[in-house]
Amino acid sequence: MSISKALIEDAITWRRGFHATPELGYNELQTSDRVAQLLESFGVEVHRGLGGTGVIGTLSNGQGPTIGIRADMDALPIQELGHCSHKSTHQGCMHACGHDGHTAILLATARHLSETRHFSGTVHFVFQPAEEGLAGAKKMIDDGLFKQFPMDAIYGLHNWPGAPAGHVVINPGPMMASLDTFEITLTGKGCHAAMPDKGADPIIAAAQLILALQTIPSRRLSPLDSAVISVTQINAGEAINVIPETAVIKGTVRCLQSPVRDKVQALIGQFVEQLPVTFDVKGQLTYLVGYPVTENHPQAASMVRRAAVAAVGESKVQWGCNPSMASEDFSFMLQACPGAYLWMGVDGEKPSAALHNPYYDFNDQVIEPGVAVWTQLVEQSLPLT
């Protein structure tokens, strides 16, 4: 396959432009305008408005199946600390997760396919807002993504520090964990810090509960199950000499299997109800179910594998890996439509900075193999007749 060097150079320019002007979830106004403008210049039909700032580009070439390819567009509320020439110009906001690269790869793919048209069928290029914790994928689905744009399969890509640049990693099953959040309010009885017997200390109950929650993965689940319970906030008290009335604990739960996810939620509820009582403290749980497990459909994952082998070579394709306990809202799309999600390595001569790191910058060398993989996927999924 021949991909124009001029196209890759243009894609790098687009990517760096997006990097310099990052926007947070549901506020990707300038980004979505630019995406729509470029798609229209390629001769791709554009639909806007799903998910607020979402953009769909549709390219048809004769009769055949229909597939979708998704890229996320939003940035993170992080102050960039690097010194690249295209550093963020928006205070407190940067593309620390590489969504600028995902968007540029999909735009370049759309232009390449519009020029070559070595496929028979329809491709929907899905540019999604608000992946970073705001469930933009679900919002697009709720707004009618798969009803207005029916697809036989949907595919997504994420850059991946820790894997060599241009290498593809994919599983025939789970790729990333579910994400749920919890807030636990412990209510005791406030009193003088010198007279703890006159009150009921919610901080002691909180300390014991935090430790007890860690026994759920280690003692209440099978060692073959995957779960992470992380307490990330504890707030209590206003004065150094007062035992407070309440303490609030917040955190997240990550699982790789849906039945395990349900069991962990139930166990946390039991712990919150029963353990604080031993300290004469009442526990109340607010549990918010968030992103599902990102689980590939085996047939679609196999399709990605074949396309990746054709695009970058078998030695650069890893079939089977340890899933990540991080989460991804592409999981909602995979619940609604068959498909698969792949990682593409970005480590060059020097390892990439981690995702969500203030020094992160997408590796532009990955744009060309990214376009090659998507192109092969389209041409193999929608063969010319």
Q: What tens digit of pLDDT does each residue of 153-162 get?
A: 999 999 999 9
3-state secondary structure of 299: helix
Average model confidence (pLDDT) for the chain?
97
Residue 385 lies in a domain: no
**Nearest Cα to Cα of residue 57 among 72, 78, 35, 73:** 35
- Give the rounded percent of residues in the chain with a pLDDT score beyond 70: 100
Look at residues 289, 311, 332 and tell me which one is the last residue of a structural domain: 289
Residue 334 lies in a domain: yes
Residue 342 lies in a domain: yes
For tokens 């697809």, name the residue.
151
Q: What does the pLDDT look like over 242-269, one tens digit per residue?
A: 999 999 999 999 999 999 999 999 999 9
Q: Is 270 found in the same domain as 126? A: no
Pairing of strands 242-243, 191-192: antiparallel
Residue 56 lies in a domain: yes
Q: Is 342 found in the same domain as 198? A: no
* pLDDT value at 364 more than 90: yes
* pLDDT value at 73 more than 90: yes
Q: Is 279 found in the same domain as 314? A: no
Buried b (16+ CB within 10 A) or exposed e, 45-76: ebeeebbbbbbbbbbbbeebebbbbbbbbbbb
CATH assignment at residue 62: 3.40.630.10
Angstrom distances, CA of residue 119 to CA of 3, 103, 302: 16, 22, 19
* pLDDT value at 92 more than 80: yes
pLDDT at site 179: 96
Average pLDDT, integer, range 290-307: 97
Look at residues 242, 265, 289 and tell me which one is the last residue of a structural domain: 289
Residue 347 lies in a domain: yes
Q: Is 250 found in the same domain as 337? A: no
Look at residues 289, 312, 340 and tell me which one is the last residue of a structural domain: 289
Cα-atom radius of gyration of the chain, to the nearest Å? 24
Residue 76 lies in a domain: yes
Q: Is 275 found in the same domain as 157? A: no
Rounded CA gap, 346 and 354, in Å? 10
Residues of each annotated binding site? 97, 99, 132, 158, 356
Q: Is 130 found in the same domain as 190? A: no
Q: Is 332 found in the same domain as 266? A: no
Rounded CA gap, 181 and 286, in Å? 9
Q: Is 30 found in the same domain as 134? A: yes
Q: Is 356 found in the same domain as 272? A: no
Q: Is 167 found in the same domain as 115? A: yes
Residues of each annotated binding site for Mn(2+)? 97, 99, 132, 158, 356
* pLDDT value at 35 more than 70: yes
Average pLDDT, integer, range 49-67: 97
Q: Is the Cβ–Cβ distance between 370 and 344 less than 8 Å?
A: yes
3-state secondary structure of 234: strand
Q: What does the pLDDT look like over 336-349, one tens digit per residue?
A: 999 999 999 999 99
Q: Is 194 found in the same domain as 154? A: no
pLDDT level of residue 385 (50, 70, 90 thresholds) = confident
CATH assignment at residue 256: 3.30.70.360
Domain of residue 13, residue span: 3-174+292-380
Rounded CA gap, 125 and 143, in Å? 16
Q: Is the Cβ–Cβ distance between 343 and 160 less than 8 Å?
A: yes
Q: Is 220 found in the same domain as 168? A: no
* pLDDT value at 1 more than 90: no
Q: How many domains does the chain have?
A: 2
Q: What does the pLDDT look like over 104-134, one tens digit per residue?
A: 999 999 999 999 999 999 999 999 999 998 9
